[in-house]
Amino acid sequence: MQDVLPINPKDCIFDELNSVHMSIIWFNKALQLSDIQHFGDGNMGEHLGIHFSALGQNEIQGTMPVDHRTKQPYGLLHGGASVVLAETLGSVASALVVDHEKFMCVGLEINANHIRSARQGHVTGICTPIHIGSQTHVWDIKIQDDAGKLCCISRLTVSVLKRR
């Protein structure tokens, strides 16, 4: 039985070296930012104040406050909160790439390198694809502070499962 790709290869642009450059990666090509806001309702994202802030052709962005919910005892952004932001963005991105009638996405692995601390304001995660395959997705999530300085780099691997 042949695997069915969760994205349409016709949505990709190939250069002269046959390298792929993604145009719109979302399953719903008319997807708008307002269409995804409900993904943050009633879960950890809502508890931490995560808000989806931008949706591009091949990226999703979200912000999270640096406040009493997301700080560790030293008054710095908790590394775990950064990981929650990263996994939220990557998981939602994977869900937006596939046909929900046929596929579901679950996390396999996440890692994070904490580069710089944040003490106040907001952090913004920018999630872009590294790999979108028929069985796995790999996402790069860069988290920066209000000044645009890099705070964390994360990579999320997601498994794409066929619904039964």
Catalytic residue IDs: 87
- In 3D space, the residue among 77, 76, 108, 91 whose CA is nearest the CA of residue 44 turns out to be 91
Q: Provide Rg for the chain, Cα atoms.
A: 16
Tracing tokens 């932001």 back to the chain, one arrives at 85
Assign 98 to helix, strand or coil: coil
Can you name the residues that pair with 63 across neighbouring β-strands?
Answer: 51, 124
Is 36:52 a contact under the CB 8 Å cutoff?
A: yes
Tracing tokens 């145009």 back to the chain, one arrives at 23
Tracing tokens 């806001």 back to the chain, one arrives at 37
Q: Which two tokens stand for residue 83?
A: 């990981």
> Which residue intervals of the chain are DSSP H helices?
44-48, 79-97
